[in-house]
Amino acid sequence: MIPARDRIVPPASARALADRLPNATRADVAMGHIGMVVGAAAPRRAWSTLIDWLTENLETAPA
C-alpha cells in the first residue's frame, strides 16, 4: 500500500520499490502514513483493501 501523502516513506520511493519487486501488488491510497492505520477513513480506504488482498492471497497460498 502506497499512501499518497506520506512524509515517512515518500510515495515515489515506495512506488520505485514496488516496481522492482516481482509479483508485487500495489494499492495506492489517498491517505498518509499514519492515517492508513488510525484515520477516520482507514477502515474504508485502507483496511478493506488490505483485507481483500489477504483473503485473496491466503486462499491461493500453497500449504
pLDDT more than 70, % of the chain: 94
At 45, list the grid cell. Answer: 480506504
Task: Answer yes or no: are the C-beta atoms of 25 and 1 closer than 8 Å.
Answer: no
Q: What is the pLDDT of residues 3-55, one digit of tens each?
A: 999 999 999 999 999 999 999 999 999 999 999 999 999 999 999 999 999 99
Task: Answer yes or no: are the C-beta atoms of 31 and 39 closer than 8 Å.
Answer: yes
**pTM as predicted:** 0.74
Q: Which residues contact 18 (CB under 8 A, 6 or more apart)?
A: 2, 24, 26
pLDDT score at 63:
64
Q: Is the pLDDT of residue 61 over 70?
A: no
Task: Answer yes or no: are the C-beta atoms of 53 and 23 closer than 8 Å.
Answer: no
